[in-house]
Amino acid sequence: MTSRAGTAPSIVWLRRDLRLADQAALLAAAQEGPVIPVYVLDDETPRNFRMGAASRWWLHHSLACLDRQLRGIGSRLILRRGKCHEELAAIRRETGARTVHALHHYEPWWRNAESAVAKTFRLHLHDGNYLAPPGSILTGSGSPYKIYTPFWNALRERMPPAPPTPEPTSLEAPEVWPRSDNLEDWGLIPATPDWASGFREEWTPGEVGACERLQDFAGRAGGYANFRNLPSDDCTSRLSPHLHFGEMSPATVWQSVADAGGSVEVFLGELGWRDYAQTVIIQFPEYGSRNAREAYDSLNWQTDRVSLLAWQQGRTGYPIVDAGMRELWHTGWMHNRVRMIAASFLVKHLLIDWREGERWFWDTLVDADYGSNAVNWQWTAGTGVDSNMFVRIMAPLTQSPKFDAADYIRRWVPELAHLSDRDIHDPAVPPTGYPAKIVDHAAARARALAAHDRMKHG
Ligand code: FAD
Q: Domains in the chain, please, with CATH?
A: 1-128 (3.40.50.620), 130-163+206-283 (1.25.40.80), 294-453 (1.10.579.10)
* Known catalytic membership, residue 273: yes
CB of 273 closer than 6 angstroms to any ligand 1 atom: yes
Whether the predicted pLDDT of 99 surpasses 90:
yes
Residue 390 predicted with pLDDT over 90: yes
Mutate to test the pocket of ligand 1, among 131, 352, 356, 372 (most ligand atoms within 8 A of CB): 372
Q: How confident is the model at residue 59 (pLDDT cuts 50, 70, 90)?
A: very high
ipTM: 0.99
- Distance between Cα 336 and ligand 1 center (Å): 6
Active-site residue among 336, 360, 379, 412?
Answer: 336
Residue 267 has pLDDT above 90, yes or no: yes
For the entire predicted model, the pTM comes to: 0.98
Closest ligand 1 atom, CA of 369?
A: 28
Pick the atom of ligand 1 nearest to 343's CA: 34
Give the confidence band of 1 by pLDDT, cuts at 50, 70, 90. very low
pLDDT at 5: 54
Determine the average pLDDT of the residues in 360-386: 97
pLDDT at position 7 is 87
Q: Is 228 in the pocket of ligand 1 (CB under 6 A)?
A: yes
**If pLDDT is split at 50, 70 and 90, which confidence band does 262 have?**
confident
Question: How sure is the predictor about 2, in pLDDT bands with cuts at 50, 70 and 90?
Answer: very low
pLDDT digits (tens, 9 = 90+) for 143-189: 999 999 999 999 999 999 999 999 999 999 999 999 999 999 999 99
- What is the CA(286)–ligand 1 centre distance, in A? 20
Q: How far is the CA of 229 from the centre of ligand 1 (A)?
A: 12
Three-state SS for the chain is CCCCCCCCCEEEEECCCCCCCCCHHHHHHHHHCCEEEEEEEECCCCHHHCCCHHHHHHHHHHHHHHHHHHHHCCCCCEEEEECHHHHHHHHHHHHCCCEEEEECCCCHHHHHHHHHHHCCCEEEEECCCCCCCCCCCECCCCCECCCHHHHHHHHHHCCCCCCCCCCCCCCCCCCCCCCCCCHHHHCCCCCCCCCCHHHHHHCCCCHHHHHHHHHHHHCCHHHHHHHCCCCCCCCCCCCHHHHHCCCCCHHHHHHHHHHHCCCCHHHHHHHHHHHHHHHHHHHCCCCCCCCCCHHHHHCCCCCCHHHHHHHHHCCCCCHHHHHHHHHHHHHCCCCHHHHHHHHHHHHHHCCCCHHHHHHHHHHHCCCCCHHHHHHHHHHHHCCCCCCCCCCCCCCHHHHHHHCCCHHHHHHHCHHHCCCCCCCCCCCCCCCCCCCCCCCCHHHHHHHHHHHHHHHHHC
Please give the share of the chain, as a percent, with pLDDT higher than 90: 94
Catalytic: which of 86, 270, 388, 415? 270
For residue 301, indicate whether it is catalytic. Answer: yes
State the average pLDDT over residues 25-46.
Answer: 95
Q: What is the pLDDT of residue 96?
A: 97
Q: Which atom of ligand 1 is nearest to the CA of 242?
A: 9
Q: Give me the pLDDT at residue 260, please.
A: 86
What's the pLDDT score for residue 43?
80
For ligand 1, the distance from its centroid to the CA atom of residue 225, given in whole angstroms, is: 15
Report the binding-site residues: 224, 236-240, 267, 367-369
